[in-house]
Amino acid sequence: MYKTNNTNGNKSAIQSKSFVHLQQDLLGEVDNAHNPDLLIIDQVFKHYHNTLKLQPKLAKMLVSRKVDPSYIENFHIGFADRTLGYELKSPKCLLGSRNRGHLQRLGLLKDSGHEFFRGALVIPYCNNDGQIIGAYGRRPRHQRRKPAYHLYWNAQRVSLFNATDQRLPKSLILCKSALDVLTLLTAGFNNVVATMGTQGFNEVQLSRLHEDGVSRVFVAFDNTPSANRYALLVAQALDAMGIQCYRIKPPTGQDVNHFAMTQTDVVGAFNRLMDEAVPFKQCYGKLVPGVMDRWLVQLGTLEDCIQFYLEEARHAGKSYRTLNASRIHLERFLDYCHIIEVEDVADLTTTVLESYQQYLQSEKNVFTDNVISLTTQIERMDAVTRMLARLHYYDVIPEPISFVNSCVAVH
């Protein structure tokens, strides 16, 4: 962790004049023309920005990551050095308690009082009016106690990073994080924007691309199994809007920033990746006939398919209770498949599901020694058929009509 310049550990690393409003009753001074949330957010990120200016080691870190340090000022980048609490009044007084509660409600302070971005480089996301509405945090290195390396604040509400109030160009590079955008901007690529994480693509960003008439998008997410899945989801959303989508794939396990750090000629190396980019539709068309040869090659086994289905359901906003119930039902199905030596999704047939249906009809409750109820049988079979329907949606399995029909008798 980068240390602050303070010596006694009890005072802030900086005397932030911009943060003086939090020493006062902010809510009491707000008039109808101002949003109190935006005002207090602005104060917090000014504090982070002023903190970074006094951290020369972090400026050197940006240079080592192929990022121009002048972007610190251009994009109001900051650093959370754990001194935010020193700028607030004591939580024992009414004003201090109110301001801390306000920051906790916004998610910038945790319930424990610790900063959400503690120890992280902070890159704010702004709307068209220049107001900060979200932020990405990146810790300088993995920590001993393994806190989150990437931090996302307000990810589902933000627009695209580096998307100003001007109309977006027809062709764009879509990255997963603001740090990747800064890397490409330094290399001279100007038509580049970012979501907030691979799971951060939202309706606001999709609408902006559609409204500005963007016709072609190069998805430059990192090349990992998880990122490949979400790149596929983004491509399907863009395709529904009539936007051509191409996949830029860095070397396995790398994102754009890591890839740039391994290159001496970043411009030439990234241009080669763009030349090798394959349209999503073309990629899928080549890979649909088989299962093990697919682009989503990690979905070859039943266990991988179950994990993918649950992760997609979680990303879609399913409740914990629903996810947990699906997980339990699908793990039971997986255990049964292990017993009959069915490991790969390609081995699923109507016969397998019919035998599982018969197994459910004879399965007994471990506590009462009675056959499980019809309702339980239906729930367990429905969990399997819902998963198969999603796998068919991604072309992992063929048309599952025969599978579904084999389950009707249970109902």
The DSSP code sequence of 32-83 is TTS-HHHHHHHHHHHHHHHHHHT-HHHHHHHHHTT--TTHHHHTT-EE--S-
The stretches in the chain having pLDDT less than 70 are: 1-34, 89-92, 94-96, 141-148, 281-300, 316, 394-395, 398-411
Which residues make beta-bridge pairs with 246? 218, 279
Q: How many CB atoms lie within 10 A of CB 144?
A: 6
Task: Mark out the alpha helices in 154-264 (DSSP H runs).
Answer: 178-187, 203-211, 225-240, 256-261
pLDDT of residue 146: 52
- Supply angle C-alpha 349, 350, 355, rounded to 5: 100
Nearest to 391 by CA among 282, 314, 310: 310
Decide if 232 contacts 394 (C-beta within 8 A).
yes
pLDDT of residue 95: 65
Decide if 229 contacts 312 (C-beta within 8 A).
yes
Specify the DSSP class assigned to residue 174: E
pLDDT of residue 373: 86
- Supply angle C-alpha 17, 22, 24, rounded to 5: 105
pLDDT of residue 89: 65
Q: How many CB atoms lie within 10 A of CB 89?
A: 16
Dist CA 310 CA 48 (whole Å): 37
Q: How many CB atoms lie within 10 A of CB 245?
A: 22
pLDDT of residue 399: 58
pLDDT of residue 405: 41
Element (H, E) at 328: helix 320-339
- 179-212: pLDDT as tens digits: 999 999 999 999 999 998 888 888 888 889 989 9
pLDDT of residue 274: 92
- Helices 350-362, 320-339: crossing angle, 10 deg rounding: 100
Dist CA 203 CA 205 (whole Å): 5
pLDDT of residue 90: 65
Dist CA 321 CA 206 (whole Å): 29
pLDDT of residue 287: 32
Dist CA 36 CA 45 (whole Å): 14
Specify the DSSP class assigned to residue 28: H
Residue 6 structure tokens: 């303070």
pLDDT of residue 219: 94
Count of positions (residues) in the chain? 411
Dist CA 384 CA 30 (whole Å): 54
Dist CA 194 CA 58 (whole Å): 22
Which residues make beta-bridge pairs with 371? 364
Decide if 408 contacts 378 (C-beta within 8 A).
no
Residue 255 structure tokens: 């994102």
pLDDT of residue 220: 93
For the chain, list the domains and their CATH numbers: 17-157 (3.90.980.10), 171-287 (3.40.1360.10), 297-410 (1.10.150.130)
Strand ordering across the sheet containing 121-126:
78-79, 121-126, 132-138, 150-153
- Burial label for 121, CB within 10 Å (0-12, 13-18, 19+), is buried
